[in-house]
Structure formats: C-alpha cells, structure tokens
Structure 1
Amino acid sequence: MALAADLDGHRFSAFWAIPFVGILLSIALMPLLVPRFWHHHYGKVAAAWALAFLVPLAASSGPAAAGAALVHALLAEYIPFVILLTALFTVAGGIHVRGNLHGSPGLNTTILAIGAVLASFMGTTGASMLLIRPLIRANDDRQHKAHVVVFFIFIVSNAGGSLTPLGDPPLFLGFLKGIDFFWTVGQIFPETLFLVGCLLGAFYLLDSWYYHRREERQSFDPTPDTLAIGFDGARNFWLLAVIVFLVLLSGTWRSDVAIEIAGTPVGLPGLVRDVGLLLVTLVSLQITPRAVHLANQFSWAPMQEVAKLFAGIFLTIIPVIAMLRAGLDGPFGPVIAAVTRPDGSPDPAMYFWASGVLSSFLDNAPTYLVFFNTAGGDPGALMTILAPTLAAISAGSVFMGANTYIGNAPNLMVKAIAEDRGVTMPGFFGYMAWSAAFLLPLFAIMTFIWFR
C-alpha cells in the first residue's frame, strides 16, 4: 500500500488505525443508523477520516511526507482502481436485456450460472447490473421472489467474481501489487466450482419447491411478452473485450519507461491501460442510445459513492499497512500471531476466516490488502511458497463478502433495485440468516478440504 515500505510501522501506535477503523465502521453502520445523513454527507465523512490521518502525519512527519503519501496513494492504486470500476460500470450500464422470460427453476438457475461466469470477466458490479433486472422481470408473476435475489447476491455479486482481477476489487488490487492475472483462476478454481455448484444445486431445489406450490403463480404476468428477447446497446460487448485486453496488456507488458510524479513512478503499461479505459468509458457513453440508459435507469450515483468512500479508505489504510509490515514486534503483533502457526508459518485456515469475517462486515478490498501485507506483501513469495496463504486470503475476501449486505458494493445495489421493483427483501439480519444457513456450512467444508 502507499508508502508502507517508507513509513516505519514501529514508530506508530495502534491509535493510528483509528481513521481506518472509523471509516469502515461508518460505511457499515451509518447507512443503518442515520440513513438520511449518510446519503447526503458520506463524502464529507470519508474526507474527515482521511484528514484525521493526513493532518497528524503532516504534524509528526512533515508536510512533505504527508503530501508524498497522498500522491502515492492516488497515483499508484486509487486512480487505477476507480478507472477500472468506472469503465466496467459504464459499459455494463450500456447493455439492456429486453424482453420477458418466464422464471422457472431451470431458467433461474441458468441465469445465475451465466452470471457467475460473466462476473469474472465484467466484474461482479457489471454482471449484477446486467442481469438483475431481467431476472426480476422473469419472476414478477411469482409470489416468492426474495430467495431468487438472495442467491443472485451469493453467486453473481460475489462468488462468481473470484477468478480474475476483473471480477472483484480485492483481486484487482492484488493484480496492481504484482499478482499475475491468471494466478487466481489457477489456484482457487476448484473452490469456486464447489461453492457455485453447491449454491446452484441448493437454489434449484429450493426454487422448485416454491415453484410447484399451488399459490405460487399469479393469474397474470405483469410483464407482457411484447418484445423479442435480445440486447439493446450490444456494441458495448466489444468494449468489454477491449477492457479485458487493456488489463491483460498492463499485466504482461514490461517497460522501463516511467514518469515520476512527486516521488511516485507511473509506468508506461499502467498509463496506457488507464488512458485506454477512460477512452472506453467515453466511447460507451457516446455510442449507447439514451433509451438504453433510461431502460436501465443508469445513474452515476453508485459510482460516485464508491469513488468518494474508497478515496478515504486508500488513505487511512496507509499506517495500518505500515504497522502490519512491522511484524510480530509491531503494534499489530497479536493480529499476525493469530494467523501464524507456532512454527512461524502462516495458517491458511485462519487467513481464510479472518479475511472473510472482516470482509463480511467491513469491505473486502481493504481487508484483502491488510492480510496481503500481513502475509508479507511480496507478490513473488505469495504466488509460490506462500500460495496456499494467498489463495485463502483471496477466497475469504471474495466469497465471504456475500455474508452480509455490506460485504460487497453490488449487494446493496441489487437489494435496492429489487425493492424498487416490489420485491420484499429480508432485512439486514434476515439476510444474514440466509447466509448462515447456506454459506457458512459450505465455507466450513472448504476449510477442511483446501485450507488446512
């Protein structure tokens, strides 16, 4: 993370983690406790927590150190991160699935399976925004629909994005830190196949039980079959291919050309990727008909929220990473000891559950970074001798983001869209009852098979 290698974590106390913990708790609790205030002022809250770190850093280490930390966090990680999300969000928002399907158990399961595959190539946000509306339309003549959306969140908004850096923000951050593009699919494909396969099987059985109840189907379908099934804005699929190419290019192209800005080198491959993604975003906005955006109810509000909140997260996590790098002798020695075996080697099972539990209630991207650095932060070692540990961190951060509505950004977005279309969704703890019943047993099985 930004300047983690330059800041001496030994000289920090645990109090330096307060801004990081504060912003994550704000994200988790304020939408529930003070929703109106949060809706209007979340950007100010994020800025306040960022200043709560930067101002004391400037006072203790000098304005130059604080400025260098700010520039490094923005250029090295935050801006590439937000640019990729913006490109995926825009391109997916330019594709509208028209027509009306009929939500049988077989069709619903097929849509969830397709979404699981798409999530690793167009992101969990992109795949969720593309498929949730046609899935709700397909089931709008059924009495029980909430379970369809819940399993959609499990599979499409989380588990399906576990195979590539395009799939979920934690994996893209790992990619920016030096993890190979195809490393994750090579390491946790069996775990992903097991989780998604079990969830699809459980969903099919549950949906079939509901579907064959006498009172399940309404006497009329609220969505008439007036349009042929198809895609509007299909040219955006070509832009998705361009996004994949640009990300792959930046990960495989090696160049010594770099521009140094305030001590932070900006490499040519990354610069080409980011400029290309910005161009893709602009092209998508230009070629997408206004009617498609209207049909998708496209809005910049979700992207603005992500951008503002992650700006604060990427800054406040700087001292946390520095303290973790200090090892057992640093302020976070007990955390490192908890995920370390008596012989000093990392414990993959503890990394899986520690990263997963925090991802459930905070945010999976910074959680991934915390444990990535707890495990040493060396991509070369983490992809080889420590591969089981990085696999556990990756799986825990991505899979367990499905445990709560706040574990991953698409979760709440999907919930809001479903409720807007009349689906009565379970509350915060009601949703957790679903995840406890269906996800936690699978995670326990995965621990004994793959992460011992």
Structure 2
Amino acid sequence: MALFIGCCLLPGVASAAEIDGASLSLAWGVPFAGVLLSIAVMPLVLPNVWHHHFGKITAGWALAFLIPFAAYFGMHAAWVNLVHALLAEYVPFVILLTALYVVAGGIYIRGSLQGTPGLNTAILAIGAVLASFMGTTGASMLLIRPLIRANAQRSRVVHVIVFFIFIVSNAGGSLTPLGDPPLFLGFLKGVPFAWTLQHIWPDTLFLVGILLLAFFLLDHWMLRQEQSYGQPAPVDTSARERLGFDGKFNFVLLAAVVGLVLMSGMWQSLVVFDIAGTEVGLPGLVRDLGLVLVTVVSLSMTARRVHEANQFGWDPMFEVAKLFAGIFLTIIPVIAMLKAGTEGPFGTIVRAVTNPDGSPNPAMYFWATGVLSSFLDNAPTYLVFFNTAGGDVAHLTTEMATTLAAISAGAVFMGANTYIGNAPNMMVKAIAEDRGVRMPSFFGYMLWSGCILIPLFVVMTFIFFR
C-alpha cells in the first residue's frame, strides 16, 4: 500500500489522463523495477554512493520513465500525468506523512522504559489496537521512538523493529476504514464502517496473536543471548521516572489529522479546481491546508526540549519524500497495466482469481491482492479486485463476504512483505537507522517476512479463505 495515502481517500480527485494499460508492454515497468532494485541493492554494494546520492539516483529513474513517455505519448500527455502525480498523489501523500511525523514527534513518552520482552510485547500490542483507529502511520510514528529508546541499552534490536513493522505498521490497521487506505476506499464504495471489524477480526486476532507470541519468545531468547555475552547495563531503579507525556496538546492535533482525513473522504462537494487536467476537489484542498496548519501549529507550540528528547530530525522524512517521489512517477504505467484487468499484462493474475465454473476463489483473491500490494500501491490493487469480484457492495458484503474479506486482508496484511509495501514501513526503517539501528537490507527484510509472514499467510489461507 504505499502510494495513495492522501489521494486515494478522495472521492473528488479524478484521473488526469488515463493511459490504456492494455496496450502497454512490461518494458514500461523497467524504471519502477529500477527504483526498487536500487533501494534493494545499492545500499549493499555501493553504500557510500547510495547514502550521498540516493535522491539523484531516484530522480534518474524517474527521468528514465518520463523522457521516453514524453517521446512516445507526447509532451502534453507527459505534462498532464506529471502534474497529476504531483498534485493529486505525491503532494497529499507527503503533506499527510509530514503532519503525522511532526505531530507524533512532538509527543514525548516519559518514563524509565526498559526493553524487556514483556514491555516490548505490550508496546506492539498497544500499537496494533491504535493502528485501526489512528492509522498505521499515526500509530507507528507515535510509538517507534519510545520503543527504540526503551531498547537503547540492548545490542540486538533489529527483530524488535521488524516485528513492529509487521504488527503496528500493517496488520493492526485491518479492523476499521481508518486503519488503512484500501479499507477506506471500500467504505467510500459503500462497505459499512464496522464490516471489516465484524468479518476480519478472527484473521487479525490470529495473525497478530501468533506474531506477538512469536515475538515474545524470540525477544526472550535474544535477551538471554545478550546476557550470556555480557549483562546489559542495569537501569538505576532509585531514579526511575514515572510514565507520563510531554507535548500532550499534540494528541489533540493527532485527532485533528484523523478528523481531516475522514472529512475529506465523506464530504461531498461539487467544487472542483482543474489544474492542467487534474481535478482537485474542495474537500481534499481543505484537508491538505488543514494538515499544513496542524504541522505548523505543532512545530510552533512544541517545546524544544520535547523535540530534543525525541531526537527529532528531518532526515528520515527527507529520505522517504525523495524515494517516493521517484516511485510515484515510475509506477504510473504499472498501475495502468493493473487497472487494465484481464486485458492488460497482469491479465493472467486477474483471471486466476476465478474458478472454472465462474465462482470466485477467495484464496486466490487473498494472494493476488496481497502479492501485488507488496510491491505496488495496495489502494488501487484493492479496487481492481473489488471490481473484478463484481463491485456490487450488497452482494460482496453478504453472499461474497469471504471474497471481500480475502481482498481486504490481502491488501492490508501483505503490505508488510516489503519495505515499500506500506508507507510507515519505510518511515520506521528510516527513523531506526537515524537512531543507529542497522536495519536489514531490502532483501534482508524480505527474508524476515518470507520466513515469518508467508508461512502464516499459507495457514490463514486454509483456515479463513478456502
């Protein structure tokens, strides 16, 4: 899921210039693949080059798409799609992400937090609950800093961050439309607000429960390993600090962010501004201006000591903004191919979700939606398979409830398979690295997800989506 956090919540944003995805070849996806491979490989083989020039490299791949696109489809089509990607997709995405990053960075959780298996598991469990009500990004930005601080004295913390991404940044956002953009799109299509809670809670409870148990056991074993090589520095119990919050007013601003996003999806307005072929609705404009105001207020009113205590800095935000700028542009033809359905290059995948007798195959819907959501934007992926399943809300939420649950679960859960599967994944990684945690590479992270998540998804297939 990563790309349409802002724009996909908008009913009033129209596509600027639809590309016929059925006529495109897979070669148009090379720049997008190039961005992904650069993120995956260059930090390993050329770390210094990547660290200092990742923005230029990403821009190079964006130009590798844009220039041939302009030559083939014409300057006007290139300009229209560039403006659309920026105004309708990238700018709302960055504004929302920045607001959540700043507001959460203005909340300092005081207390003598010691990274024991019990405390770490409790933080992950709390984050899983919060994610469905303040979004996976909001919950991730709120809790990742205190979690890293609690484990600062431990030598092995990578597994803590990886499981945080699995649980808080992804699986926890599956119970309400506020948790993840695909579910919000379903809500806008007419899926009742409480439908996902009623139909996906067993799946979520199973996945999150197993992950929390696995994490507790792994963290306990890791801690014992650390102690066998040297006891972590003890906490001075005579100077223990009680749990509390500094910058409490930012909780109000966090609620304002959630309210603005919810408003932009539910407010219907006929007022639309046409900017170079991109229609920007009034609800989206009000939301973005409101988010900018929230960001400014938070920066202005948060005491410097709170930011210093949180080690607040802009580098993680800059990194994510630069990388996703390239992803937003190079993914344009890939999304068009996906939207082409059975007529496009991904037609084989789309056709695979239907049984020979014409009935839907929930297991295939789960995996097709999930696999594509791991690398593409899970919001349009959700819509593609929502419509492939018929698009009739009344039918999908009743007789075909298992199919809709499979689509919803695949879009949300499998965003954890890669760093780019969901926006908070990359944000959490960047913040952790900024704090000195040596996070796994792109493929290294996929090794974690492949060994832990994929077997669980296989089991879930047989339990919930047969």
TM bucket, shorter chain: 0.7 to 0.9
Aligned: 1:373 with 2:377: no
Can you list the C-alpha shifts for 1:42-63, whole angstroms capped at 9, x where unaligned?
Answer: 2223322332333233223322
Verify the 8 A CA contact 1:140 1:221 in the aligned structure 2: no
| Alpha carbons of structure 1 residues 145 and 324: separation in structure 2 relative to 1, 3 Å | closer
TM-score by length of 1: 0.83
| Alpha carbons of structure 1 residues 185 and 321: separation in structure 2 relative to 1, 3 Å | same
Report the Cα offset of residue 272 of structure 1: 1.2
Aligned: 1:188 with 2:185: no
Report the Cα offset of residue 239 of structure 1: 0.3
| Alpha carbons of structure 1 residues 333 and 105: separation in structure 2 relative to 1, 3 Å | closer
For 1:350 and 1:199, how far apart are their aligned partners in 2? 23
Report the Cα offset of residue 426 of structure 1: 6.5
Can you list the C-alpha shifts for 1:194-240, whole angstroms capped at 9, x where unaligned?
Answer: 21122223334444566689858546227973533211111100001
Moved more, 43-52 or 279-288: 43-52
2:328 is aligned, of 289, 296, 314, to 314
Report the Cα offset of residue 303 of structure 1: 1.8
| Alpha carbons of structure 1 residues 383 and 438: separation in structure 2 relative to 1, 3 Å | farther
Can you list the C-alpha shifts for 1:310-339, whole angstroms capped at 9, x where unaligned?
Answer: 222222222223333333333333332344
2:342 match: 328
Moved more, 438-447 or 82-91: 438-447
2:78 is aligned, of 58, 66, 77, to 66
| Alpha carbons of structure 1 residues 251 and 208: separation in structure 2 relative to 1, 3 Å | same
Aligned: 1:32 with 2:44: yes
1:44 is aligned, of 41, 56, 62, to 56
Verify the 8 A CA contact 2:61 2:326 in the aligned structure 1: yes
Pairing of 1:339-358 with structure 2 (within 5 A) = 339-344=353-358, 346-358=360-372
Verify the 8 A CA contact 1:95 1:233 in the aligned structure 2: yes
For 2:296 and 2:94, how far apart are their aligned partners in 1? 15
1:159 match: 171
Aligned: 1:441 with 2:446: no
1:80 match: 92
Moved more, 382-391 or 150-159: 382-391
Q: Give the share of equivalent positions with the same residue, in percent.
A: 67
Three-state SS of the structure 2 residue aligned to 1:266 is strand
2:34 is aligned, of 22, 27, 34, to 22
Moved more, 131-140 or 59-68: 131-140
| Alpha carbons of structure 1 residues 114 and 67: separation in structure 2 relative to 1, 3 Å | same
For 1:51 and 1:178, how far apart are their aligned partners in 2? 39
Three-state SS of the structure 1 residue aligned to 2:239 is coil
Verify the 8 A CA contact 2:273 2:281 in the aligned structure 1: yes
Moved more, 10-19 or 372-381: 372-381
1:398 match: 412
| Alpha carbons of structure 1 residues 133 and 66: separation in structure 2 relative to 1, 3 Å | closer
Report the Cα offset of residue 124 of structure 1: 3.3
2:123 match: 111
RCO (CA 8 Å, sep 6+): is it higher in 1 or 2?
2
2:3 match: none
Pairing of 1:218-257 with structure 2 (within 5 A) = 218=232, 220-221=234-235, 225-257=239-271
Aligned: 1:8 with 2:25: no
Three-state SS of the structure 1 residue aligned to 2:295 is helix
Three-state SS of the structure 1 residue aligned to 2:312 is coil
Verify the 8 A CA contact 1:5 1:322 in the aligned structure 2: no
1:295 match: 309
Unaligned segments of structure 1, at least 5 residues? none
Alignment-mate amino acid for residue 369 of structure 1: P
1:268 is aligned, of 282, 294, 317, to 282
| Alpha carbons of structure 1 residues 241 and 438: separation in structure 2 relative to 1, 3 Å | same
Report the Cα offset of residue 262 of structure 1: 1.9
Pairwise CA RMSD of aligned residues? Answer: 3.6
How many positions carry a matched residue from both structures? Answer: 449
| Alpha carbons of structure 1 residues 206 and 165: separation in structure 2 relative to 1, 3 Å | same
Alignment-mate amino acid for residue 327 of structure 2: I
Moved more, 168-177 or 113-122: 168-177
| Alpha carbons of structure 1 residues 187 and 243: separation in structure 2 relative to 1, 3 Å | farther
Verify the 8 A CA contact 1:179 1:379 in the aligned structure 2: no
Alignment-mate amino acid for residue 311 of structure 2: Q
Alignment-mate amino acid for residue 312 of structure 2: F
Report the Cα offset of residue 374 of structure 1: 5.6
Pairing of 1:82-97 with structure 2 (within 5 A) = 82-97=94-109
Report the Cα offset of residue 352 of structure 1: 2.4
Verify the 8 A CA contact 1:88 1:122 in the aligned structure 2: no
Can you list the C-alpha shifts for 1:267-316, whole angstroms capped at 9, x where unaligned?
Answer: 11111111111111111111111111122121222222222222222222
TM-score by length of 2: 0.81
Three-state SS of the structure 2 residue aligned to 1:439 is helix
For 1:298 and 1:442, how far apart are their aligned partners in 2? 36
For 1:349 and 1:178, how far apart are their aligned partners in 2? 23
Alignment-mate amino acid for residue 112 of structure 1: L
Can you list the C-alpha shifts for 1:41-97, whole angstroms capped at 9, x where unaligned?
Answer: 222233223323332332233222222222222232222222211111111111111
Verify the 8 A CA contact 1:346 1:375 in the aligned structure 2: no
Verify the 8 A CA contact 1:341 1:347 in the aligned structure 2: yes
Pairing of 1:101-180 with structure 2 (within 5 A) = 101-139=113-151, 145-164=157-176, 166-168=178-180
Three-state SS of the structure 1 residue aligned to 2:132 is helix
| Alpha carbons of structure 1 residues 339 and 220: separation in structure 2 relative to 1, 3 Å | same
Moved more, 84-93 or 314-323: 314-323
Three-state SS of the structure 1 residue aligned to 2:245 is strand
Moved more, 436-445 or 267-276: 436-445
For 1:75 and 1:427, how far apart are their aligned partners in 2? 31
Verify the 8 A CA contact 1:325 1:376 in the aligned structure 2: no
Verify the 8 A CA contact 1:4 1:318 in the aligned structure 2: no
| Alpha carbons of structure 1 residues 315 and 444: separation in structure 2 relative to 1, 3 Å | same
| Alpha carbons of structure 1 residues 50 and 223: separation in structure 2 relative to 1, 3 Å | farther
Can you list the C-alpha shifts for 1:379-420, whole angstroms capped at 9, x where unaligned?
Answer: 954785376555434423432333455654544654565577
For 1:226 and 1:175, how far apart are their aligned partners in 2? 46
